[in-house]
Amino acid sequence: MPEILRMPEVAANTTEAVVSSWNVSLNTPYAAGETIVTVETEKAAVDIEAEAEGTLLRLLAEEGQTVAVGSPIAVWGHPDENQDAVDALVAALDLPAGSTVGGDAGNESPAEVAAAGAAHDGAGTASSGHGGRIFASPIARKLAAEAGLDLAAVVGTGPNHSIRRRDVEAALAVSRAAGASDSGPDTGASPPPARQETGPVAVRADFEDVPLSRMRQAIARRLVDSKHSAPHFYLRATVRVDRLLDVRRELGGDAGAAVTINDLIVRAVAVAHSRVPGLNVRWNGDSVRQYRHADIAIAVATEHGLVTPVVCGVDTMSIGQLARRTRELIQRAHNRRLRQEELEGGSITVTNLGMFGIEEFAAIINPPHAAILAVGAASQQPHVVDGELQVATIMRLCLSVDHRPVDGATAAEWMRELTGILEHPVRILA
């Protein structure tokens, strides 16, 4: 018996999500646990896996469409489901006309095909020149109708050749290009004389307004809220990291994963949290939440935007375990495969721009964290030790702190502990 697949609540308090991609084709069997669809929230793309084996029989939401949580996005069942039962189930949903994005185009009766052709301008389907049915999304139909475009002339790239918004936009672009190249009939008249310019010609710079992705909108909104609501103060420190670099070289691949300087810094932050737990907190409005373990977010710059996956229980990990976990999270962040729970929790973020040669910078706190540690590049610089000038490898740190849950003295004590740990890195491995 066919059943409805609804948009799940992939994160707490999420009211809607975008259908990012359908990962199985219509009328193609899939197994339990196989990813059916990927949906995108403001923070991440989330794979929705099948709870049981089955087949997608009808799509009710197209890729790129925003759907409210709990709303139907597809019909699934067994490959041999009766199409009348599928039609009845969809009809019972009382969806807007033409909401079905794709379906079984091979089981219509001649009467249904004729009816579809007669309803070309108002229904969700149109008869094609080959006697089949043309499936189009609501937005695609709207754009085609506004432009006077015949859907029968549009090549669909969706499931079962369904027509999507991008297909209509591509067809319109081709039509406009063809119109622009048509110079009209030759009347034999002489062309007008060229205009004589008497002064400099103003040249408009070429530019493109790129629509904001949901992730970019979320980043902008959260950082503006953070800057407005969290009173930031900043502490800066200069750390000598020659010993830290020696430890990193000595570890090499012995830890089971390539240990980076950032891994050692994250581990040092965890040790500092255990020694000064007053910074391992977050502001709850009417309370301050004190964490028992060090859950630390790491800033990862991807082509889709900045994400901050959280490494949980850093204080309980060996440096090798931390390196492996961090590498896994970074790889999945670039592939947009982070789970929602991996983006939540923690009290502090570590962000590192040292690989770009940036010596020092101040970062905006990632809400609801209490602090963010900005790490600059390590470089050789003159350094005075016991009155003698030496050449040392120096790294600059800047700690941004939310003054609501953390006092200046507490943050300063934490920063002193961190710099001491980095300069005596054997404590990181203890």
HSE value, Cβ hemisphere, 13 Å, CA-based, for 295: 19
Q: State the average pLDDT over residues 26-49.
A: 85
Predicted pLDDT at 392: 93
Prediction pTM value:
0.64
Return the active site residues.
403, 407
In this prediction, residue 30 carries a pLDDT of 93
Which of the two residues, 166 and 421, has the higher pLDDT score? 421
Domains, the chain, in order of start with CATH, read 3-174 (2.40.50.100), 227-429 (3.30.559.10)
In this structure, which long-range contacts are made by residues 86-94, counting pairs with CB atoms below 8 Å and at least 24 apart in sequence?
86/2, 86/57, 86/58, 89/2, 89/3, 89/4, 90/58, 90/60, 93/4, 93/60
**Which tops the pLDDT comparison, 280 or 211?**
280
Task: Give the mean model confidence (pLDDT) for residues 356-361.
Answer: 95
Lowest-pLDDT range, 123-137, 200-214, 234-248, 414-428? 123-137
How large a percentage of the chain has pLDDT more than 70? 80
Mean pLDDT of 270-277: 97
Q: What is the DSSP string of 158-202?
A: SGGG-B-HHHHHHHHHHHHHHHHH-------PPPPPPPPP-SPPP
Q: Which pair of tokens denotes residue 132?
A: 């089949």
**Cα–Cα distance, 20 to 67 (Å, whole number):** 11
> Would the pLDDT of 308 be above 90?
yes
Per-residue model confidence (pLDDT) at position 119: 34
Question: Phi and psi dihedrals of 353, rounded to 5?
Answer: -115, 15
Mean pLDDT of 191-196: 50
277 CB contacts (<8 Å, ≥6 apart)?
290, 291
